[in-house]
Amino acid sequence: MSHVESSETTMLRDSLRRFVDKEMPRELARKWDREDIFPRDVFARLCELGVTGLTVSEAYGGTGPNIVATMATIEELAKRSLAVAVPYIMCVCYAGMNIGESGSPQQKAELLPKIAQGKILFAYGLTEPNVGADLASVETTARRQGDKVIVNGAKSFCSGAHLSDYIYCLVRTDSPDKRYKNLSIILIPPSTPGVTVRVTDAIGMKGAPTTDVSLVDVEVPASAIVGGDAGWNNGWSMLVGSVLNVERLEVAAMALGIAEAAVADAWSYSQERVQFGRTISGFQAIRHSLANVRTDLHACRLMLYDAASRVDRGAPCNVESAMAKLFICEKGKSIVLECQTIIGAYGLTREFDIEKYVRDMLILPIAGGSSNIQRNNIANMLGLSKG
């Protein structure tokens, strides 16, 4: 496993780091976290860098697809704030990749140029109160009525729905016994009559919080069916394509960025904090802890960009993306907790960013397919006998 970053990606990182330093200073990021704010003005300036076109083809005004560069962007933004990183994912990955891969010609022509400019955000309406990882069992229904579609049901953990232009909503559109062949995906603007969005007060991911969504006799045009008429009852195939692999990597990229930020803070703190007449970086326990987290970061980075480069090459990566999501999110959690321990009591206060890293990181082993789901996926894909 190896990954040599291209000069173009390195230049992109340098540009993003300058942007973060200028437009996303720590004090602002703390305010966004504290007040649960999505900084639309900062996001708009981010879009001017052209990074929202990284999953959109040149034919529609994008520069992509370039998954390695997309992951690098998520990583750099997540180092400072998920209030910008998550909406970026909502635009580039949720919207750009899904419409690019599954949209009808009309949907691509209408939406992709706007997505490339950063003007469209999607929220994922997949999970439901009674349905977590078993998406084929969704209970939200949709029926055709002339040139309209009527949707009824509920979605939970629908991150950023109140910020989005469309909820990418998975619905059942045929008999429950036609499993996998009875699902469709509908684009639903949150402002549509019958849609109610309630923000959930979670411990982290502030600025793009998760929500519960109620859908009561929601009426949208048939043109809102992803893939057009051909997409009716064909939603399952849209969920299990390359977009699924990239979704795992999106979460892993956030985890890597947060872990890197935590290690950088703990590394600096250890060389500033004086105890017993010396900086704590001189104590073997601290030195070993920092060496361990640096080593873990290196492994995480290799796994992420190996899988991302596989996506770019069109190589098989189902197993690698699941492994990357599992390993990086679990290691990321252990990394930030170790860094909090190094910083000590100050790491429990809002004066230090480490407590934010911890809150955000605790979400990521659950989001985008939990760690145990990834373990099941890996065992199944590698053909492990079930006895």
Tell me the pLDDT tens digit for each residue of 324-377: 999 999 999 999 999 999 999 999 999 999 999 999 999 999 999 999 999 999
Stated pTM of the model: 0.96
Answer whether 51's CB lies under 8 Å from 88's CB.
Answer: yes
Cα gap 197→190, rounded to integer Å: 8
So what's the pLDDT on residue 204?
Answer: 94
Instruction: Tell me what the mean pLDDT of segment 3-15 comes to.
Output: 92
Residue 81 has pLDDT above 70, yes or no: yes
Fold of the 241-381 domain: Butyryl-CoA Dehydrogenase, subunit A; domain 3 (1.20.140)
Cα gap 72→78, rounded to integer Å: 10
Number of Cβ within a 10 Å radius of residue 193: 8
pLDDT in tens, 145-168: 999 999 999 999 999 999 999 999
Average pLDDT of the chain, as a whole number:
96
Domain 124-233 has CATH 1.10.300.10: no
Residue 256 has pLDDT above 90, yes or no: yes
So what's the pLDDT on residue 130?
Answer: 94
| Side-chain half-sphere exposure of 370, counting CA atoms within 13 A | 7
The two tokens of residue 49 are: 């860098």
So what's the pLDDT on residue 194?
Answer: 98
Cα gap 70→65, rounded to integer Å: 9
State whether residue 279 is helix, strand or coil. Answer: strand
So what's the pLDDT on residue 293?
Answer: 98
pLDDT band at 242 (very low <50, low <70, confident <90, very high): confident
Q: What is the dihedral of CA 336, 341, 342, 348, to 10 degrees?
A: 90
Domain definitions of the chain by residue range: 7-120, 124-233, 241-381
Alpha-carbon distances, residue 141 vs 29, 49, 95, 181 (angstroms): 39, 40, 22, 14
- Asked if omega into 65 is within 30° of 0 (cis), the reply is yes
Domain 7-120 has CATH 1.10.540.10: yes
So what's the pLDDT on residue 64?
Answer: 82
Amino acid at 69: A
Cα gap 13→7, rounded to integer Å: 10
| 77: phi then psi, degrees, rounded to nearest 5 | -70, -40
Beta bridge partners of 172: 141, 183
Residue 135 has pLDDT above 70, yes or no: yes
Pairing of strands 195-199, 148-155: unpaired
Instruction: Tell me what the mean pLDDT of segment 65-84 comes to.
Output: 98
End-to-end CA distance of the chain: 32
What radius of gyration, in Å, describes the C-alpha atoms of the chain?
21
* Percentage of the chain exceeding pLDDT 90: 95
So what's the pLDDT on residue 1?
Answer: 59
Cα gap 70→56, rounded to integer Å: 11
| Side-chain half-sphere exposure of 384, counting CA atoms within 13 A | 8
pLDDT band at 243 (very low <50, low <70, confident <90, very high): confident
So what's the pLDDT on residue 294?
Answer: 98
Query: Judging by beta carbons within 10 Å of its beta carbon (0-12, 13-18, 19+), is residue 214 exposed, middle or buried?
Result: middle
So what's the pLDDT on residue 4?
Answer: 81
* Percentage of the chain exceeding pLDDT 70: 99
State whether residue 24 is helix, strand or coil. Answer: coil
So what's the pLDDT on residue 263?
Answer: 98
Cα gap 348→359, rounded to integer Å: 11
Alpha-carbon distances, residue 353 vs 27, 79, 364, 365 (angstroms): 10, 11, 17, 20
Residue 2 has pLDDT above 70, yes or no: no
pLDDT in tens, 281-311: 999 999 999 999 999 999 999 999 999 999 9
